[in-house]
Amino acid sequence: MHIDKLARIDLNLLVILQVLLEEQSVTRAASRLNVSQSAVSKSLNRLRDTLDDPLFQRTAHGLKPTAHAEILSQQLPNLLQSLYQLTQPPAFLPSDSQRRFSFAMVESAYETLFPLFIGPLLKQAPQLKLDSYVWNQNSLQDLQLGQIDFGITGRDIHPQADKQFDQLPEGIEQQSLFQDRQVCLVRDDHPILEKVQNQQWQIADYLDLYHVQVRCEGKDWWAMDYYLAEQNLTRKISVTLPDFYGAASLCAHTDLIFTLPSSFAKHAMKLYPLSLIELPFEFIPMEYVLLWHERNNAEPGHKWIRDIISNRIDENL
């Protein structure tokens, strides 16, 4: 290592480079860093001189990273996280910590999992600051870049659904939290309940009903639809919504049927006049998984939070 050369580099420039790589706009980077556009442009020129590369090309759609900048975008998050950890105390004391952690979770986890661990977590570390976001199609990348600390999402245990988690981005770790099963909800006076009570509820009846579906990660299909498609079958999906509560409310006021994890169905039934129906056929289970980046495997604060989450869910589910 050439310490003398490293000493001549302003490490703040690496932070500015990371933000530029994420925003690909001098204007947005300046706003995020709370500095002037001129200051960001001057820093970019210094970076170009230091790294002997133009780093970005201006286009009609913003800044396009060069090949060298693309390589740096894969290395910088880990490097900056390591530098950040050097500034942290050697141990994590929950009762004294004022650190900030961020989560991205699927909507159903906010009702079924979040209440299980958030109370014990804040009781032991009352000064923590927690930021929470809805899990979406960009959340895995956000984990990889260090923009969020933890992810909790659902995973259908199905070949097509498994593919995403068999090919997690480099460095992403996962831990299974608990398994669940899919069930159906209909309004309390739905006509189909008579067939269910008379044990005449079959897959043909399920397919004959009109369905409400929740869009997850921007996708209209999930494991149920793939399963049916393999048998040349399909559901009549009348309405697709972005959230579980909206779907449950719509289901309570129409003849639509809603297929969802049983853990969330129990909470929806406390709010709306809904009846739970088991699926009329055998179907694969799903599980909730906790995700984080391997750079935080041994970091005391991250490890403490992971242990709280997994222990509380093990004790209650």
In this predicted model, what pLDDT tens digit does every residue of 43-56 receive, in sequence order?
A: 999 989 888 999 99
Please report the pLDDT score of residue 4 as a whole number.
61
DSSP 242: S
Retrieve residue 212's tokens. 């409400």
Please report the pLDDT score of residue 278 as a whole number.
97
- Checking if the pLDDT of 193 tops 50, the result is yes
Question: Domain 100-179+287-316 adopts which CATH fold?
Answer: D-Maltodextrin-Binding Protein; domain 2 (3.40.190)
Q: In the structure, what pLDDT confidence band is assigned to residue 105 with cuts at 50, 70 and 90? A: very high
- Checking if the pLDDT of 172 tops 60, the result is yes
Average pLDDT over residues 92-108: 92
Please report the pLDDT score of residue 9 as a whole number.
73
Classify domain 3-86 by CATH number.
1.10.10.10
- Checking if the pLDDT of 165 tops 70, the result is no
CA angle 214-233-190, nearest 5°?
55
CB-based contacts of 300-308 (< 8 A; 24+ apart in sequence): 300/91, 300/92, 301/88, 301/92, 301/97, 301/99, 301/101, 302/101, 302/149, 302/150, 304/92, 304/94, 305/101, 305/121, 305/149, 305/150, 306/150, 306/175, 308/117, 308/120, 308/121, 308/124
Please report the pLDDT score of residue 163 as a whole number.
45
Please report the pLDDT score of residue 317 as a whole number.
76
Average pLDDT over residues 214-235: 87
For residues 303 and 291, give the distance between their C-alpha atoms in angstroms, rounded to a whole number.
Answer: 12
Retrieve residue 226's tokens. 């793939």
Q: In the structure, what pLDDT confidence band is assigned to residue 91 with cuts at 50, 70 and 90? A: confident
Biggest CA–CA distance in the chain, Å, is 82
Please report the pLDDT score of residue 145 as a whole number.
86
Q: Which of 71-75, 156-160, 180-184 is the least confident region?
A: 156-160
Cα-Cα-Cα-Cα dihedral sign, residues 85, 89, 93, 94: negative
Q: In the structure, what pLDDT confidence band is assigned to residue 62 with cuts at 50, 70 and 90? A: confident
- Checking if the pLDDT of 280 tops 90, the result is yes
CATH number of the domain at 182-284, out of 2.40.160.20, 3.40.720.10, 3.50.50.60, 3.40.190.10? 3.40.190.10
For the chain, give the mean pLDDT. 89
For residues 191 and 209, give the distance between their C-alpha atoms in angstroms, rounded to a whole number.
Answer: 11
Answer whether 166's CB lies under 8 Å from 159's CB.
Answer: no
Comma-separated ranges of CATH 3.40.190.10 domains in the chain: 100-179+287-316, 182-284
Average pLDDT over residues 96-117: 91
Comma-separated ranges of CATH 1.10.10.10 domains in the chain: 3-86
Please report the pLDDT score of residue 7 as a whole number.
66
Residue predicted with more confidence, 311 or 111: 311
Q: Can you give the pTM of this predicted structure?
A: 0.70
Please report the pLDDT score of residue 162 as a whole number.
46
Q: Of all helices (H) and strands (E), which one includes residue 179?
A: strand 172-180
The values of phi and psi at residue 15, to 5°, are: -65, -45
Q: Which of 7-16, 19-28, 167-176 is the least confident region?
A: 7-16
